[in-house]
Structure 1
Amino acid sequence: MTENQNSEAVEAYIQTLPDTYQEDVSQLRMLILDTLPEARETFAYGMPAVTVTDDDIVCSYKAQKHYISLYMDVAVVTDHADDLAALNCGKSCVRFRRYEQLPEEAIREMLRETAVKQKKANTE
């Protein structure tokens, strides 16, 4: 798939979501793409994902029955546990019901940290 086809596929995915999630997932997508302008959208494990290298996924996200999950690097989620304390977090995921619950600046920092880490790993 080309980048344009991937973006269209992500948009189509969002359109299939219940109305209650479409706006929140769209806002999350825009936050990710705004934070990482060099990012490419793709699909991995049946959900939208974002890459900055050919090998690694910076994050992926999916609307579940009761919440939206944002999957990220385990170490980065752990390092930002204090910023995410108000949310339901797993080892590598941040779960939220509404976009407004997300600590935007912390998520932006987490995305940047992961992207830098992956770029560095790919140049070594």
Structure 2
Amino acid sequence: MQSTAKNPQEYLDSLPEERKEAVNKLRNVILEKLPKGFEENINYGMLCYCVPFSLYPDGYHCNPEIPLPFLSLASQKNFIALYHMGIYADPKLLDWFVNEYPKHSKLKLDMGKSCIRFKKMDQIPYELIAELLGKISPEKWIEMYETEFRKQNTK
């Protein structure tokens, strides 16, 4: 369910009514807790939080014309998805998140490599997400990206 929105407000306005409150609340947590330096935009039909070209001029190796993505938020067909590249890149951060999740939610954790899926809008662990968001700065993400992804993709 990829959006054709051109900016974050257009994305939010296009959401189904039953998703607006949860996505807006998650977005507000992101804007409040994500370390300074990330920028919000629309990429891949989702709300994205990227390292701007001013901090990382090389952009994303998959498409150097877009800034380096870090976090995305999307309303998919059957769930809300939060894509956190730090969880994908850092096994210690993943372990921390997996261990903390049951302390914040009675639901089973539903996730892929970087995707955390929320099927019940009233069961999103906002406090845990807020804590997760503060763990990686843009500078730290650039370092991790260079180590974990960039070198692998230039071989």
**Aligned twin of 1:59:** 71
> Shift in Å at residue 33 of structure 1?
0.2
> Shift in Å at residue 28 of structure 1?
0.6
TM-score under structure 1 length normalisation: 0.76
| Residue 141 of structure 2 corresponds to residue 94 of structure 1 | no
* Counterpart residue identity of residue 33, structure 1: L
SS in 1 for 2:116: strand
Instruction: Tell me if the contact between 1:14 and 1:22 (Cα under 8 Å) persists in the aligned partners.
Output: yes
SS in 2 for 1:83: helix
Instruction: Tell me if the contact between 1:52 and 1:115 (Cα under 8 Å) persists in the aligned partners.
Output: no
From 115, 118, 121, the equivalent of 2:141 is 118
> Shift in Å at residue 88 of structure 1?
1.1
Task: Call closer, same or farther: CA 1:93–1:59 in 2, change over 3 Å.
Answer: same
**Aligned twin of 1:20:** 18
Alignment of 1:29-68 (within 5 A): 29-36=27-34, 38=36, 39-54=38-53, 55=59, 56-68=68-80
Instruction: Tell me if the contact between 1:28 and 1:99 (Cα under 8 Å) persists in the aligned partners.
Output: no
Structure 1 CA distance for aligned equivalents of residues 101 and 70 of structure 2: 18
* Counterpart residue identity of residue 10, structure 2: A
Aligned residues: 117
Runs of at least 5 residues in structure 2 that lack an aligned partner in the other structure:
1-5, 54-58, 60-67, 146-155
* Counterpart residue identity of residue 103, structure 1: P
SS in 2 for 1:11: helix
Instruction: Tell me if the contact between 1:77 and 1:92 (Cα under 8 Å) persists in the aligned partners.
Output: no
Instruction: Tell me if the contact between 2:35 and 2:134 (Cα under 8 Å) persists in the aligned partners.
Output: no
> Shift in Å at residue 53 of structure 1?
4.5
| Residue 98 of structure 2 corresponds to residue 81 of structure 1 | yes
TM-score under structure 2 length normalisation: 0.63
Identity of aligned residues (%): 31
* Counterpart residue identity of residue 76, structure 2: Q
SS in 1 for 2:7: helix
Structure 2 CA distance for aligned equivalents of residues 103 and 12 of structure 1: 25
Instruction: Tell me if the contact between 1:66 and 1:97 (Cα under 8 Å) persists in the aligned partners.
Output: yes
Larger radius of gyration: 2
Task: Call closer, same or farther: CA 1:98–1:52 in 2, change over 3 Å.
Answer: farther
> Shift in Å at residue 43 of structure 1?
1.6
Runs of 4 or more off by more than 6 Å in structure 1?
none
